[in-house]
Amino acid sequence: MEHRDQLIRTARAMVADHKGLVALDESVATLNKRFEAAGIPQTEAFRRAYREVLITAPGIGDYLNGAILFDETIDQQSSSGRSFLDILQQAGVIPGIKLDEGTEDLPGFPGEKITKGLDDLTERLISYRQKGLRFAKWRAVISIDGDLPSEACIISNAHALARYAAACQHAGIVPIVEPEVIMDGDHSIARCAEVTERTLRELFYQLNLLKVELRGLILKPNMVLPGEDSTEKVDSEQVAAYTVNCLLNAVPATVAGIAFLSGGQEPELASGHLNAINHIYQSELPWPVTYSFSRALHQPALEIWGGKDENVKAAQAAFLELGKANKFARSGQLIPNEFSR
């Protein structure tokens, strides 16, 4: 493989030094929905301003190795005229890009989704590589509902993730593969574990089939949790046990790193679960285990900012506070009151 050594170096850098990744890759529709809930105008100017709040937060590189961006953000600049990509790179934060184009119904399988974006992927990868993007992300959605997910849904999405990953590596870009078993539903934590393990096993079968270099790849899985409508009560130690068992059963040791998604969890909960995984099991894990959070890292900053210039510093402080807490969680040393410091 032409880019193997460079891919491995970049992947290792993405999970180094007890730092994490921030997902700033919400689509226009998704970010506008969050803006509407916070009373912020839903315009390109305000979306750019919000990205600036986060990207220019002082000391961002102390807590983050990488930032996943949305296409709209790639060519944007700060209010002082500096490219967002330059700001991130100068802070030591590797820029990446969300490459999937959302989901559509999987034909013949009601209630299940397949991810779009493979058709023009090669051309987009060439363009992003030329702009300095060094990694990418692709999300697949797996739902639990009665007999779902179907085998067809798991195989179809795993194959699409593998095709995306192979195309990324051919272009010299590290792929983050995100097979998300979503929290919607009333399923048990055991059911989530079973579906997550099935999905991961199929994913790595497909990745192997397409000769993807696992040392140059990051896995972004869900934590193993009960459905959000379930009445089952679990603590962080149980979540850690189910999650680690699932990963050890299904994920090859050669993968460069694990970067959990938050999946809609509140910041304290997502960080607490990450902390338990590392505190209890870090010495047993063959890969670095970190995070790639979106709302669980910067939703409080959005609410504080509210679209107002006078709130920028306070919003940045909230963002960095969660970055600091998650750095402790990565090493299994998070203490409960770290969020209030």
d(CA 274, CA 276): 6
Q: In degrees rounded to 5, what are phi and psi of residue 244?
A: -65, -40
Catalytic residue among 112, 178, 180, 338: 178
303 is catalytic: no
Question: Is residue 142 within 8 Å of 180, Cβ to Cβ?
Answer: yes
Least Cα distance to 69 among 49, 87, 84 occurs for: 84
44 is catalytic: no
Helix (H) or strand (E) holding 34: helix 28-38
What letter represents residue 173's amino acid? Answer: I
ω into 149 cis (within 30 of 0): yes
- Other beta carbons less than 10 A from residue 5's beta carbon: 11
Residue 91: is it exposed, middle or buried by C-beta count within 10 angstroms (0-12/13-18/19+)? middle
Q: Please list, in sequence order, all residues whose beta carbon lies within 8 angstroms of the beta carbon of residue 317, skipping any fewer than 6 positions away.
A: none
d(CA 286, CA 282): 9
- Other beta carbons less than 10 A from residue 305's beta carbon: 26
What are 71's two structure tokens? 């296409």
d(CA 149, CA 162): 19
d(CA 192, CA 263): 13
What are 309's two structure tokens? 């210039």
Residue 123: is it exposed, middle or buried by C-beta count within 10 angstroms (0-12/13-18/19+)? exposed
Catalytic residue among 19, 113, 137, 220: 220
What letter represents residue 188's amino acid? Answer: S
Catalytic residues: 178, 220
